[in-house]
Amino acid sequence: MTLNPHLEFGPEVHAALIKKKPIIALETSIISQGLPYPHNHETALLVEETIRQQDCTPATIGIVKGKIKVGLTPEELNFFATERDVKKINNRDIPVALTRGWNGATTVSGTLACAKLASLQVLATGGIGGIHREFSETHDISADLHQIRNTKVITVCSGAKAILDIPKTLEMIETLGIITGTYQNEEFPAFWSRNSGCQSPLRLNTVEEISAIFKTSRQLFNKQGFLVANPIPEEFEIPRNIIEPLIKDSLAKAQVQNIKGKELTPYLLNSLNELSSGQSLLSNIELIKNNANLAAQIAKKLSII
């Protein structure tokens, strides 16, 4: 199926490639670093099932003993959910992880790089990384943004995580030339909340429109990402005025404890889960499922145009 010696397809993905069934790429960092056990395992299974119900095939991507696995077996998925010290792998880490034979959970940037190798066209996640709020001191910008810019894949997410500086993240997305729009809404979403206070660059009305824009981009450019921001369903959102003070408290705690780099995003997500008594986790799970569902609808459209 593939000439790339570093890629291995799981049986379900292999069969889908032969049948030319639409495939959705999913990341593993959200499982290993983004959500606590057992919710991470349950969510990973639910998201895969959501995609199957749309007659598409899920391809959860991770690095297993130095191979890029596109489509995990139930045992491998369980490994990523239960093993506590799986490394968080972004795009730059992949060659090192493969050469050293590591296991690694891929972030959006790592997963996109792998999805491109496997010729997949759509990825679903919760929220992408972006520019952190303390940017002027730390210069912390997620590798997700540059990889999205470089990869001809549609990334379906609920915006950038609200722990970030959303206005600055939107500026950077524009600078990088990433097509960006909100599905059926005017504002850019803020992960747990439907609104961020920032106007979205574009309102995207239908999956037909999303597929058609992606197709046009592919005909024009070798590299151009497409970010589809899908607001969390209203019944599961946490309004901004409720989540924002908790974000501020979590950021202050992270600063006191000197948490930086790759540890920062998982630390903040975990702290918010505690401070919101599990509410942020419930919302996080619902928005991921919702994104998987939209990603599958887009992938089906893409397969017929």
Could you tell me the smallest distance in angstroms from the CB atom of residue 31 to ligand PSU? 9
Residue 244 as a binder of Mn ion (CB under 5 A): the answer is no
Q: Which residues contact 272 (CB under 8 A, 6 or more apart)?
A: 163, 243, 246, 247, 250, 280
Largest CA distance in the chain: 53
Instruction: Indicate the residue among 107 and 250 with the shorter CB distance to ligand PSU.
Output: 107
Distance CA 9, CA 78 (A): 17
Q: Which of 10, 34, 58, 189 binds ligand PSU (CB under 6 A)?
A: 34
Instruction: Give yes or no for a contact between 108 and 125, defined as CB atoms under 8 angstroms apart.
Output: yes
Element (H, E) at 228: strand 226-229
Is there a catalytic annotation at residue 20? Answer: no
Closest C-alpha among 225, 44, 16 to residue 122:
225
Count of alpha carbons within 13 Å of 133, Cβ hemisphere only?
Answer: 15
What are the residues facing 237 on neighbouring strands?
Answer: none
Can residue 27 be called a binding residue for ligand PSU (CB under 6 A)?
Answer: yes
Q: Which of 22, 58, 62, 126 binds ligand PSU (CB under 6 A)?
A: 126
Nearest in space to 269 (alpha carbons), one of 73, 74, 29: 29
Active site residue 274: no
With CB cut-offs between 5 and 8 Å by kind, which of ligand PSU, Mn ion, none does residue 12 bind?
Answer: none
Q: Which of residues 246-275 bind ligand PSU (CB under 6 A)?
A: 262, 265, 269
Task: Choose, by CB under 6 A, the member of 23, 24, 30, 86 that binds ligand PSU.
Answer: 30
Token readout for 1 is 């199926």
Q: Which two tokens stand for residue 239?
A: 């309004």
Q: For the window 134-163, what string marks contact with Mn ion as x by the rule CB under 5 A?
A: ------x-----------------------
* Minimum separation from the CB atom of position 25 to ligand PSU (A): 12
Q: How far is the CB of 193 from ligand PSU (least distance, A)?
A: 14
Site map for ligand PSU, 59-78, x if CB under 6 A?
A: --------------------
- Considering only 40, 50, 107, 280, the residue that binds ligand PSU (CB under 6 A) is 107
Residues in 148-167 that interact with ligand PSU by CB under 6 A = none
Q: Is the dihedral of CA 143, 279, 271, 27 positive or negative?
A: negative
Residue count (the chain)? 305
For residues 68 and 114, is the Cβ–Cβ distance under 8 A?
yes
Shorter beta-carbon distance to ligand PSU: residue 155 or 224: 155
Q: Which residues are tagged catalytic?
A: 27, 161
Binding site for ligand PSU (CB under 6 A): 27, 29-30, 33-34, 107-108, 125-127, 129, 142-144, 262, 265, 269, 284, 288
